[in-house]
Amino acid sequence: MREVAIIGAGLTKFGELWDKSFRDLFVEAGLKAIENAGVDHLDSMYVGTMSGGLFVGQEHIGSLMADYLGQTPIPATRVESACASSGVAFRMAFIEVASGLNDIVLAGGVEKMNDGADVTYALSTAADQEYEVYQGVTFPGLYAMIARAHMHHYGTTREQLAKVAVKNHYNGKRNPNAQFQMEVTVDQVLNSSMVADPLRLLDCSPVSDGASAVVLCPLDVAKKFTDTPVKVIGTGQASDSVALHSRDDLTYLAAVARSAEQAYKMAGVKPGDINVAEVHDCFTIAEICAMEALGFVERGQGGKAVDEGFNALDGKIPINTSGGLKSKGHPVGATGTAQIIEIFEQLCGTAGERQVKNARIGLAQNMGGSGGSSVVHIMEAVQ
């Protein structure tokens, strides 16, 4: 395989973007990535979208976005893996460049969730329709079950969940593209509206519009385009049962653990070598479970680690410096490459007020549904 680098990135603001269409958002992010990379063409592109058909009535998304990005007749492929769609799109782009099939490949994602769709129904299609959705369970309910199990088995507290939200909003306030650029307190989280016990409104990621994109190329030519390429040194992908009832342990994200093992092995690094990470905090409990599955802390110790500031901006492994899905926003199809952009910026030293000192190796973990799919990427700054 050839070594692969990220040479450019583009991101829209996340939020309720009423004045921009589905295609407008992707074109904005894609053009920014192309300009940032300094390339004059693309050989191929991958677009992650969870449910364009339900949210905006649009399918055939690869062709649509290639057209409006001005890139036809290149091959353009839509990728779907629920909320992990653009993380998997990035993996597909990486494989294409690494294999030698093409040299300049764009990977991105987009979702327009606020244009009148039944968001709860659209998101529920990523759960098990017969055994979960038919019974009336939504994703807040599924993650509430995970949270209750974690609290029961390991003594995780309501306050520890709240501290995840507090930390991520602190970071999000320092991200100009975040949907919620505001800090919150533990008391505000604990007193926000109940959604699914024990999860409250401020434990939940918002409904968001947005797009993100990156450009990849072989490492040996990356310096032609940028002085700060970021090398992709590891990738892993795994799946688990979609339904929670089929899992041995509700508190353990097995697909996350497996995808991380693959990525660590390929990269030749250990969890303790990671300097900064973006993880899939669709709900506050998800960040705690992801920390454990990624091997950052022992199983059951995620809540205690939050108390100790392990995942804070100045902690041992800063997590979700972007604000995470919780504060930055979660336009589901765009989230995976948005996480990668945060790591790209951290490793380039361009993350502004949220910059982690001496960040050399970063990890992005993107998850679909309640953990039915997971993809992990590890990146390294090029010296």
Spatial CB neighbours of 31, under 8 Å, sequence gap ≥ 6: 10, 69
330 is annotated as an active-site residue? yes
DSSP state of 20: S
Catalytic member of 150, 169, 280, 330:
330
Residue 29 in tokens: 């992010």
Burial level of 232, CB count in 10 A (0-12/13-18/19+)? buried
On whether the CB atoms of residues 132 and 142 are closer than 8 A, the answer is: yes
Name the nearest CA neighbour of 356 among 365, 348, 368: 348
280 is annotated as an active-site residue? no
SS3 at position 159: helix
On whether the CB atoms of residues 204 and 219 are closer than 8 A, the answer is: no
Q: In what order do the strands lie in the sheet with 361-368?
A: 76-79, 44-48, 105-112, 209-218, 4-11, 230-239, 373-381, 361-368, 276-278
Q: How far is 287 from 4, CA to CA, in rounded Å?
A: 28
Catalytic member of 83, 217, 282, 289:
83
Q: Tell how far CA 205 is from the center of its chain.
A: 12
Name the nearest CA neighbour of 99 among 6, 213, 218: 218
Active site residues: 83, 330
